[in-house]
Amino acid sequence: MLLGAAGFHAGDWLTVNTQVAREAAEIGLAVLNLRVNDPEAARDVDVTRVRKIFADNGLVIGQTNGNYGGGLVSDDEAERARAIKFAKRMCNLTRRLGSPNTYLRPGSMNRRGAWYPHPENRSAKVFDRLVDSARQICKVAENEGVRVAVEGGVVCPLYSHRRVRDFIDAVGSKALGFNQDPVNFVGTIEDAYDTTRLINESFDLLGDVTLGAHTKDFRLVDALLPHLVEEEIGKGMLDHVTYLRRMQKACPGGHVLIEHIPKEKFAPAFGAVRDISGRAGIKWDRPSGH
């Protein structure tokens, strides 16, 4: 496996430069994701430049993340069509960049954000729209020879590991796989106090279709009502040892990306993951030729 970061460079992929890559390499990161605002604006010269920057600094281009919001489940067919078109273009750009997969965001019926709850998110009609959207995208992914990595979470239409499995089976494309991120599925106090069970459930159901992973941490706030917040890696409640061991077994060639922290926090987070890796018996790979 390769250890890297999602969001180390907060801007669009076209603004990646040598300084960004050098800073990531100095920390020890091996992979960075790329955020894309407009895949149709990608010129061959831009692709060549970014690929060279990564290669010159011993980095691998990781997952691509397109900025198409939550439109894949929208009941506005024009909005949904735009999101599908965007994701299809992401498949083409992903191939050109040599990225292993592009991220599939399930979306939400909540107009305020793709990762916000809505009472219709768990409905059959929303699930069916997402399946239809994904089938259209995956046909292009198959033609381009790239993979599509879907993620889920308790507030979105793919609210459980079982629901994700049902979704992947319903789409029925070999191009579609899963992006592991157990913190997204902590929905109850029982989950919070037993993340080992939650992690094992995820890999038991989805290990065979796992393409990569995000890693972060969380804690349960002392309060009358259940309230979860993200926490620095290693200071929270996630069983990282089990997580890394299961990931290593399921997807030994995958990328594990630290996420949801500001740039200055990546160095200590990298150190924390390396410390946990020692306890878990995980030895991280380096990019080929480095």
Q: What are 175-187's pLDDT values in tens digits?
A: 999 999 999 999 9
Q: Which two tokens stand for residue 131?
A: 């399946």
Bridge partners of 230, per DSSP, are 218
- Does the predicted model carry a pTM greater than 0.95? yes
Blockwise average pLDDT, block size 10, the chain, 290 residues? 97 98 98 98 97 98 97 98 98 98 98 97 98 98 98 98 98 98 98 98 98 98 96 98 98 98 97 98 86
From CA 233, how far away is CA 179, in angstroms rounded?
Answer: 18
Radius of gyration of the chain (CA): 18
pLDDT at 179: 98
Q: What are 131-159's pLDDT values in tens digits?
A: 999 999 999 999 999 999 999 999 999 99
Structural domains of the chain ordered from first start: 2-280 (3.20.20.150)
pLDDT at 138: 98
DSSP code of 159?
-
Q: Which two tokens stand for residue 64?
A: 């691509």
Burial class (CB in 10 A: 0-12, 13-18, 19+), 158: buried
pLDDT at 290: 57
From CA 36, how far away is CA 67, in angstroms rounded?
Answer: 6
